[in-house]
Amino acid sequence: MRIVDDIREMAAEQVEFRELLYQMTLRDLLLRYKQTIMGFGWAIFMPLVNTIVFSVIFTRVAPLDTHMPYPLFAYAGLLAWNFSASSFRFAVVSLTSNSNLVTKVYFPREIFPFSAVLVSLVDFVVGSLVLIGMMVYYHIVPTAALAALPLVVIVHVMFTLAVSLVLAMANLFYRDVKYLFEMVLTVWMFLTAVLYPTALVGGVTGRLLQLNPMTPIIEGYRDVLLRGRMPPAEPFIATAIASAAFLAISWVMFHRAEFEFAENV
């Protein structure tokens, strides 16, 4: 099939240009934190502050039963969500903010959104140190389910890469996408199991929330890290298959549209 041949070709290009991807990622990391006082501390500070705010709300004002300390529940959700949200925000402008390179030099253009995701992945790893500290504080002992953590991360990265490719391409052709998506991102967060268990929402609304692909991913982190169990098989496997298919399709679409990028920058 042609799509399989395209994927092979694109994968081969990524291997060929892997050094460029590394240099782009390093450049973006340095630019992001070059003139900040806290540097990588921002990767910890933002989810931590949000955790404190929402912990006050959902433990004092409107208590929620999360079957674990709420700060731990919230921080795990915010950490995972912020990885995707940060990737999307940087990926959506990754082509338009590098117009000189897009128009003058040939290389796989997907390196730009890929680099945005890798930079955010570094932040995600840094922020995970606080999660580990919180697990120690609350006496959460990892179980054998921790072995499934790499699978959760892979599915999360695949889904984030797929959305990032679509956003970068869409914003190149329609410049108001980046503004519209900010609104979508805010609504999307509250429709995901970031700050509250979606199981608390019943009826049709609850079932719709369960269809959100980010919910099984975030709950997957909580399951393997905090609850000491494997993620529920059916929703997680469905999300994994959908994420892989979405990544393949969006990558091929991005690759085939590359020839029109220079005309729209």
Structure tokens at 37: 């006082």
The residue among 109, 119, 105 whose CA lies nearest residue 168 is: 109
Residue 105 pLDDT:
67
- Sequence-separated (6 or more) residues with CB below 8 Å from residue 30: none
What angle in degrees, to the nearest 10, is found between the helix axes of 149-173 and 214-222? 150
Taking the model in full, what pTM does it have? 0.91
Q: What is the pLDDT along the chain (265 residues), one digit of tens a residue?
A: 667 766 777 778 888 888 888 888 888 888 777 766 666 677 787 888 888 888 888 877 777 888 899 999 999 999 999 999 999 999 999 888 877 777 776 778 899 999 999 999 999 999 999 999 999 999 999 999 999 999 999 999 999 999 999 999 999 888 888 889 989 998 899 888 888 887 777 777 777 777 899 999 999 999 999 999 999 999 999 999 999 999 999 999 998 887 777 565 5
Distance CA 262, CA 98 (A): 11
Residue 265 pLDDT:
58
The residue among 41, 21, 22 whose CA lies nearest residue 32 is: 41
Residue 264 pLDDT:
58
Going from N- to C-terminal start, the domains of the chain cover 2-264
